[in-house]
Every structure is written in C-alpha cells, then in structure tokens.
Amino acid sequence: MIPSLDVAVPVIASGLLSLLGLAICLSGVRSYWVQYRAVSRAEQASGTIETVDIQPVVDGNGSTNYVPTVEYEYQTPTQRLNGTSIYPGQTHPTKLFNSESAANAPVAEYQPGTETTVYYDRLDPDHSFLKPTLHRGPDIAKVVFGLGLIGLGIVVLIQTGLV
C-alpha cells in the first residue's frame, strides 16, 4: 500500500528536519571536541611573534569584515616550527569581525619580535595556537539549533497524528 501524499510529505519533511538537526548537532559536538583535545594535549613552547596584522575581507555584498592574523615561530624539543592559529582547533583564520577595532582585541597583546608562550599538540607539533581557551558559545549554539530542528521534526509528526 502506497501512503497518501498528505502522510508522505510530513514524514519526509520530519525526517529531513531531523537529519539536518542531527548533522548540525554533530558538527557542534565535533568542533568542541577538537578544541578540547587540542587544549588537553597541549604542551608549552617558547615562541617569537613575527607579524601581527588585521586583514580586511570584502564579502559578496560589498561589506568589509576583518580577520586578525598572527604569525609566530616556536621551538619544540625536536624542531623549530611556524604557526598562525590564535585559538585551538583552528587551522586557518576563520573568525571575522565587523570592525577593525574589534578584530584588534584578540591580537592586541602581541607585538612583532616579542617572546610569547605557544601551545602545540604533542601528537601533531604542527598544530599550534596562542590562547588555550575553549570557545563554547558557537558550538553550544549549533547543538541547541540542531536539537531545535530535531524537535521541530517531531512536532511535525505529532501534528499529523503519526506519533
């Protein structure tokens, strides 16, 4: 027996909402886990700040956002390496700021030529960062949004009387 269209559409919509919600939830959990592992395994190394910059990025709408960048060199027990990540889990600068002054806040304490502490993953020494701070906000927002979509999918099923 083929289900009628008035039953199939809500079931499919509910399933898609739930799958999307699950994917977003898992993305938030994964992002947090990557940061957590990086911080928990981090070793300290002495480093030197090489450059500090605020780079403008123009989006498709013509708006300008700003990306803080820091390049540094650090010494592990076995090798001298270079890094650019400010926060754990980042492999490239992804944090955009609406103003140049806001973008300056994360890098204001760094000056070229000064010594600093660099944190690196002892299992992957190329993964380094300057601030061992977990950023939970965006990850929690993803999990809550994902759970909301899953809940919406369940509500759609309840409203159609299928649950």
Beta strands in the chain (DSSP E): 42-58, 64-75, 80-83, 115-121, 124-129
Beta carbons within 10 angstroms of residue 159's beta carbon: 11
Residues 142-159: tens digit of each pLDDT: 899 999 999 999 998 888
pTM of the model: 0.70
* Structure tokens belonging to residue 147: 């759970």
Give the residue extent of every domain in the chain.
42-131
Strands 42-58 and 80-83: unpaired
Residues 72-123: tens digit of each pLDDT: 999 999 899 999 888 887 544 457 788 888 888 888 899 999 999 999 988 8
Query: Identity (one letter) of the amino acid at 108?
Result: A
